[in-house]
Amino acid sequence: MIKIIQHSNFKEFFQVLNFGKIVDEYRGEAMAIRKASRIARKQKQELIRIQTEEGKRTIQLKKV
């Protein structure tokens, strides 16, 4: 599962995690989504879910 999480201290930075391990950190949500989508295509994942937890948006890409 790929996750994009907004950095807790620097709101403009987003962390891309692949199965709990940080892949990279990007300035801007669009760049993070683009990188996560590329990883998802390589792993043949199809579902993208965007959810909000405690005021923070979390984007999950999950294999169906």
Q: What is the pLDDT of residues 32-54, one digit of tens each?
A: 888 888 888 888 877 666 665 66
Distance CA 31, CA 4 (A): 11
Tell which wins on pLDDT, 45 or 15.
15
More confident residue, 19 or 63: 19
Please tell me the predicted confidence (pLDDT) of residue 19: 83
Return the beta strands (E) in the chain as ranges. 2-6, 13-18, 21-27, 47-53, 56-62
Give the model's pLDDT for residue 50.
62
User: At residue 64, does pLDDT exceed 90?
Assistant: no
Predicted pLDDT of residue 47: 67
